[in-house]
Amino acid sequence: MSEKPKILFYCQHSLGMGHLVRSLALAESLSAKFRVILLNGGCLPKQIRVPFEIEIINLPPLGFDGENNLVSRDKRRTVERAQILRQKIILETYVKQKPEIILIELFPFGRKKFAYEIIPLVEAAHGKAKIICSLRDILVGQRRDQERFEERAVETANRFFNAILVHSDSGFARLEESFQYLESLRVPVFYTGFVTPKPQSTKKPKRAGRAKTIIVSAGGGLVGEHLLTVAVEAYALLPEKENIRMKIIGGLFLPGRAQVSLRELTKNQKNINLRKFVRNLRGEMNTADLSISQCGYNTTLDILQSGVPALIVPFGDGTREDEQTKRAQRLEKLGAWRVCEKLTAENLAEEIQKTLQFHPRKISLDMNGGKNSAKIIGNLLSKTATRKHSKQSWLSPVRDALEEKGETVKIFFRNDDAGIFNARLFKLMNLFEKFGLPLDIAVIPSEVSTALAEELILRLNSKPNLFAIHQHGLAHINHESEGRKCEFGKARNASQQFYDIAAGYQILEDFFGNLPRPIFTPPWNRCTKETGKSLNKLGFKVLSRESAAESLSIDGLEEIPVSVDWFAKRQGVPLSREEIGEVMSKAIRENNIVGIMLHHALMDETERCFLSELLELFSYCPAAECSPMWNLYQFGQKKRLVKTVG
């Protein structure tokens, strides 16, 4: 039996334990297919469970102090001495092990102060191993030199890296939301889903009649003293505290002085239990009535998987550290928990009482990040996906056009006629969700039912980065007595068109609130200049027809047309799949933005299989960047603004 391919996995945790815990969970999943050697750059507390399948090489530990200065965690060595030893160990390990994959956590999107040891590693491995970046769901986006930092990150990634793994559900958080220079990135980005540790033995659910239990935690604890202290003070203000037990989990990195202070603060509180560490936080949450915590990646997943009502106090310094705040606000909007905006004893006590009555909404997110990461890395290593798409097929000209383009092509999918054959609509949405690619849905207002609206709202709220809706005429009926079909043609005067568009807008607003985008797709992709003027008056920003249509040239109304019709015909005969591939390749060669028009009502299982092949290609190919239409509009406005100011 041949030896497993080797992964040299670099992980540097500097402030808390989040990066280490996620990396250990990911390494454990990868160990099923790979031999994983973990370079651990921070302290490794003895209480942390290390999977036996993983080989760990502990580097002289470095980290940050409260002022973001690099410090040695080993009192025997200075920072400078530790840096020299670390660089030597890293390079010697690479030479000795000759790994097929180098997996680096966060860099180049973070860990700038460790570039001195990471750059020599990737330079040595460049062209000899697959170099992959492992990222959490949301990046810090408020650095003082953010623009220059992102430019450097792109330069480094494009030069050395083969892929970027984002450990997020693509419908929850996408890289472009916290990294503005994504359009300059030539490295393929894969969304793996969230990485969670293997479940440990779970405690039995809490029995009715017992005192309520509140768990207060702050990850590793290095920056959690204020939250833990205020939680103890808030407990004293609870009106029924005799029937409430509070468990304070300080964290392995909670400073010694903070431990002493908390012990002193709780010594006369018989219903408050102070613990430094628990091995199974998710199990503790299963038995609790309320969790109070910050909003780190791993704690978030423990809360969501346990289903405990949660009150979140995200860590942040008001400027740079905005990652937890973004995550907290996003999940609060989805109904997963409540967020405490002001951390005082009085306010926290009030929020505790409210949250004890709160029922969290179950959020559906992809939690298979470890397994999916192993599959993606396996494909990159074996080039399975490349070989698969090298076969002569209807996709060959599409792939060739993308490879020859020399720059990224922005692609969007627009699906028309939502409101009819809705079962097929949801199957189409499932397909896009599978590949983590966005889909714009044109909805016929007069065909909207309560059942359709409820299902679409649920999907739009749970996957806001994948699905968006906009208006598709009013009733999708033909008003022309002769010639080509048209709902907004010459047969309707300006006032009639204005009334129809406004009526459709009102219907969508009544059913969906502010969810519809200010985009209008006319049925049959046809309309007149009067249509454009009405849209302008009503506040629409985008008109989407077909690329062959002559522009209406109306200020304030952007036109984003489709250039490929999935069900195109030539002289009344549907194009073959090979002919569609040729049309698509031509559009890619001639345009920087390519729109593909779908009609779910016409898509049977065979058509969905063909579409699945195309979506797989786009999800893998770095030259294809799939975007929602509204993002394309905003990107165009930003470019025009920059050009005007320049």
Given a cut of 60, is residue 642 above it in pLDDT? no
Query: Alpha-carbon dihedral of residues 179, 100, 378, 200, nearest 10 degrees?
Result: -80
137 pLDDT higher than 70: yes
Query: What's the confidence (pLDDT) of residue 206?
Result: 57
Average pLDDT value over all residues in the chain: 89
Give the side-chain half-sphere CA count within 13 A for 280. 13
Taken in order 483, 484, 490, 496, is the CA torsion positive or negative? positive
Predicted local distance difference test score (pLDDT) of residue 208? 57
Please write the tens of the pLDDT for every residue from 514-563.
999 999 999 999 999 999 999 999 999 999 999 999 999 999 999 999 99
Position 457 confidence tier, pLDDT thresholds 50, 70, 90: very high
Q: 207-236 pLDDT, tens per residue?
A: 556 789 999 999 888 888 999 999 999 999
Write the pLDDT tens digit of every residue in 244-289. 999 999 988 888 898 899 999 998 888 999 998 888 899 999 999 9
The pLDDT, as a whole number, for residue 240 is: 82
The partner residues of 163 in beta bridges, in order of sequence, read 132
Distance CA 608, CA 424 (A): 10
Position 644 scores a pLDDT of 43
CB neighbourhood size of 266 (10 A)? 18
Is 501 within 8 Å of 210 (Cβ atoms)?
no
With a CB cutoff of 8 Å and minimum separation 6, the contacts of 133 are 104, 105, 106, 107, 108, 109, 157, 161, 163, 164, 165, 187
Instruction: Quick: pLDDT tens for 301-328.
Output: 999 999 999 999 998 755 466 889 999 9
Angle between helices 256-266 and 225-235 (to 10 degrees): 0
Give yes or no for a contact between 60 and 78, defined as CB atoms under 8 angstroms apart.
Answer: no
Supply the pLDDT for residue 538: 96
As a whole number of angstroms, the distance between CA 545 and CA 594 comes to 12
pLDDT at site 639: 64
How high is the pLDDT of residue 390?
41
High-pLDDT (> 90) share of the chain, % = 64
pLDDT digits (tens, 9 = 90+) for 16-47: 778 899 999 999 999 999 999 999 998 888 88
3-state class of 273 per DSSP? strand
Average pLDDT (563-581) is 87
| Residue-level pLDDT at 489 | 94
Which whole number is the average pLDDT over 292-300?
A: 93
Tell me the DSSP string of 210-255. SPEEEEEE-TTSTT-HHHHHHHHHHHTT-TTGGGEEEEEE--TT--
Model pLDDT, residue 171? 81
